[in-house]
Amino acid sequence: MSHAHYIEDGQGQLVDIANLCSDSCNREYAGEAYGGWNGCVELEYTDWCANCGVVLPGFDDEPCIHQRSVIVVNRTSRDDERCPCGNYLAVASA
């Protein structure tokens, strides 16, 4: 599950979607463009929070037990964090 921030062009057309782990990451990521909480969105494939890098497992991927159990949000890391299975738990922030 993720929060989705919809990015629109000048005509109000959807041009991109940023997946985020929480409403607070959505607020931080969007800044003035924050349009409010739109509920949780189920992802088809694994993605990472556009703000803090925490993994967002998708339902079509087969996440390991470690990815399913990570509940830490709003975290950044200097290095990529991997679980004992070798799967990403977070990605390094820029």
| pLDDT tens for each residue of 25-70 | 889 999 988 888 877 788 888 888 888 877 787 877 776 777 766 6
What's the domain range around 71? 2-90
The Cα 63–Cα 93 span in angstroms is: 21
Q: Give the number of domains in the chain.
A: 1
Q: Supply the pLDDT for residue 19.
A: 92
pLDDT at 18: 92
Residue-level pLDDT at 82: 76
pLDDT band at 91 (very low <50, low <70, confident <90, very high): low
Give the largest Cα separation in the chain, rounded.
46
Higher pLDDT, 49 or 15: 15
The whole-angstrom separation of Cα 45 and Cα 31 is 26
- State the average pLDDT for the chain: 79
Positive or negative, the CA dihedral 63, 66, 71, 75 is negative
pLDDT at residue 15 tops 90: yes
